A = this chain, B = another copy of it.
Amino acid sequence: MRGVIDVPESMLPVATLVERALERVRVRFDRQLASDLPAVSDLVAHVERYRGKMLRPMLAVLSGVAVDPHASEALEAGGADAVELSDDLITVAGVCEMVHMATLVHDDVLDEADVRRRGATLNRLRGNEAAVILGDYLIAGSYHLCSQIGDQRVALEIGRVCMSLCAGELLQIDNRDEYSIDEPTYFEIIERKTGELIGAAAGLGAKVCGAPDEVAEAMRRFGVGVGLAFQIQDDLLDLLGREGTVGKSTGKDLQKGKLTLPVIHHLINAEPVARGQTLILLETAGEAIDADHALGDRLVESLNSTGSIEAARTHAVRLVDEAKSEIENLTGPCADMLRLMADAVVDRAF
């Protein structure tokens, strides 16, 4: 996890614990998707390159240790070597990452994206058909993995979250180019599309480590809040970032008619004439490829005229603060790391 956030020296044992856990997650992940058919394993090998920050597995592992007083004490007293993470926790972490990867693969097909994690997307290299089916293979793999956990409520929750995730995606498609979309609809979309799975990672990580229901639920809400903030930051990066820094195609939201928080805020708050000019800009962006970001730059200028970029940033920070308040009673190095991660989500440029 070093490289993703700045880890203060006092928390190095936590970072080591998480890194070792992530290595186990990678092994479980690869074993789950292994196939003796080259037609399958070649594609799986490609998609494993998509793996990036592993935010969901990190949250699952940290949540699991944070709610377990014995593990937290052992970590403080004896470092990473003194903590034994359960197989179920590693599995939960792997399941959440696999579901996430499936959505990336299908999103890239839908977005006609060419670049992901600085490499070519699967749909670009192998065509949409292989990409759709490989996404399905990842979903099936995640459920198969999930069914290996003793507590069946985990599979039930993952199934529910995945249904909600798809519903959010359909709601987003339904609201494409819908310039009168309101903030509640925007938040319903991103809670389903992003918040709930990140919430599940944190909540289920806690649950399989024996957290009482109300603690696991608070952890879930923490994850949902972090996820919402993460998505707002993602939308800002799509608007403001450049492919070289972000590592994936940018400007796609505009092109696909996806209205994000700063744009929605602007359309609600702009004077009629400015609003009209922005709508023309949005229409144009939806029809043309904005290769030199000229349209994007003009849009950003308009959004700044109503303070809408800043408003979105402020909203993300408020969500992080609310998320942290869900776990304010939780002490120990992993809870501290969760708070650090929550702050880092709105602080990143990639």
- Chain A positions within 8 Å of B, measured between CB atoms, are 35, 37-40, 43, 102, 106, 109-110, 127-130, 132-137, 139-141, 143-148, 152, 155-156, 158-160, 162-163, 165-167, 169-171, 173-175
Take A106-B133, A133-B106, A137-B163 as given contacts and tell me if A155 and B143 are in contact as well, using a CB distance cutoff of 8 Å: yes
The interface centre, meaning the residue of A40, A148, A158 with most chain B CB atoms within 10 A of its CB, is: A40
Question: Are A159 and B147 closer than 8 Å at their CB atoms?
Answer: yes
Question: What is the copy number of this chain in the assembly?
Answer: 2
- Residues on B with beta carbons closer than 8 Å to the beta carbon of A43: 170
Question: Are A137 and B167 closer than 8 Å at their CB atoms?
Answer: yes
Which one, B137, B140, B147, B170, contacts A40 given CB within 8 A? B170
Question: Are A140 and B159 closer than 8 Å at their CB atoms?
Answer: yes
Not counting A136-B169, A144-B162, a sample of 4 additional A-B residue pairs whose C-beta atoms are within 8 angstroms of each other reads A40-B171, A137-B170, A144-B156, A155-B155
Residue of B nearest to A167 (CB): B40
Can you name 24 A-B pairs with beta carbons within 8 Å? A35-B167, A37-B167, A38-B174, A39-B175, A40-B167, A110-B132, A127-B173, A130-B170, A130-B173, A132-B132, A134-B170, A136-B166, A140-B162, A140-B165, A140-B166, A141-B159, A143-B143, A143-B158, A144-B160, A144-B162, A145-B159, A147-B147, A147-B152, A148-B156
